[in-house]
Chain A
């Protein structure tokens, strides 16, 4: 799941920030603003075939916080099963 979240961020942020890690802070390190966050959540919805509310993600600080929120919503990453 972590790789898929980071991959989504790289796509949205136009690969400006190649060093995206779980510890990267969205605003301070990656310059993510509210519209970027909406785009990220939208693409994560597509990636994990789920529905996400931006209000639920308004307090995320790091990339890992997004992963934790997704896991808390019982979103599973089954992709490895088929690889």
Chain B
């Protein structure tokens, strides 16, 4: 039967799960991201989600979302170019553009779509895209879909990047693409220097600030504020599903570009608009960041340090990240899964990364202690980590 042949192509390799005795993916979450979460009906400490500022279950955010549902319903059942462009939508675009300090912003259903749609709209076979070797899948896949020449550069390596730029004549446009915070490493890009290199070689910088917005900078405005990059003329993308505690993705930049994308980015034009609850929730998060960022960031950094110290005492190899992320080097994918299981069994939910998310045999387990956790929960997590120790 031809149908059997077709479906037989899609079998999963379950050996890794058998070796580890645990599948860390698609674990069922039975609660919101509260102080203690329910995973498969078991209470656990959340060191896995990207809820950096802990605002996903903030009462003010929930209230804003509920009020939006009461006023608009759950959906406007249309793309932004049609019936999806509510006053909520327009207002959030403006607030986010102002927040990151750029002219205009558009909102997409996810940052994955934002990164995919961006490159297929603005680049083609005549262009060169130079991209950090550790850039997120959404950037890599978006770049590949554009059909342009791709040159990865060594992670955060300015010398390698400049060498490539020096020999990049003859293209219609050269783009340099990177992330602010590399979430599997916790490292931060030397973006100010990258922007300078772009100016020197007439390249256009593109930054994905998904793990930086709401986290970096003196008031949480992200990488541009953190590294004091003024008059930025490149392109900026970010997820609203991490510190912004909501969902969706944004593209920001000069008005001419954003106006163009509003009509020519298919990922925007043909996608149902973000729902009213999401838009209102994100706006409420922005208001909280404006008034409480200092205290939230203080807790985030304190918790990250406490977890870091426990990992060091436990004998783990932890990458020296600058972001509020602890990334444990595990090596093989089997070792990565086994550590995730050991943490899980002791009540800690963590995030494993294996190839292709990271280089082969360079697995990581990532821990993020959000600002909503209590000091007691973080102390308990630190004690567990130290007790488990490096296997």
Contacts and interface: CB of A to CB of B under 8 A. Distances in A.
B355 interface: yes
A70 interface: no
Interface string B335-365: 0000000000000000000011001111000
Contacts of B150: 38
B360 A31 contact: yes
A60 interface: no
A27 B359 CA distance: 11
Interface stretch (B106-114, B151-159, B211-219): B151-159
B150 to A, nearest CB: 6
A11 B278 CA distance: 46
B167 A46 contact: yes
A35 B152 contact: yes
A31 B153 CA distance: 17
Contacts of B133: 35-36, 39
B140 interface: yes
A57 to B, nearest CB: 14
Nearest to A14: B154
Contacts, number: 32
B163 interface: yes
A42 B362 CA distance: 23
A12 interface: yes
B19 interface: no
Contacts of B356: 33-34
Interface in B129-151: 133, 140, 150-151
Interface residues on B, range: 10 to 19
B154 A31 contact: no
Contacts of A35: 133, 140, 152
B164 interface: yes
Q: DSSP class of B's interface residues: helix, strand, loop or mixed?
A: loop
Nearest to A28: B360
Contact of B360 (A12, A27, A38, A46): A27
B359 A38 contact: no
A46 B128 CA distance: 15
Contacts of A42: 151-152, 164
Given A12-B154, A42-B151, A36 B167 contact: no
Interface string B162-173: 011001000000
Contacts of B152: 35, 38-39, 42
A31 B359 contact: yes
Contacts of A38: 150-152
Nearest to B128: A42
Nearest to A54: B150
Interface string B277-302: 00000000000000000000000000
B151 A33 contact: no
A33 B140 contact: no
B163 A39 contact: no
Contacts of A46: 163-164, 167
Contact of B361 (A12, A14, A31, A36): A31
Contacts of A33: 355-356, 359-360
Contacts of B154: 12, 14, 39
Nearest to B360: A31
Interface string B151-194: 11110000000011001000000000000000000000000000
Given A46-B163, A46-B167, A36 B153 contact: no
A70 B153 CA distance: 22
Given A31-B360, A39-B151, A39-B153, 9 more contacts: A31-B359, A32-B360, A33-B355, A33-B356, A33-B359, A35-B140, A39-B133, A42-B151, A42-B152
Interface of A: 12, 14, 27, 31-36, 38-39, 42, 46
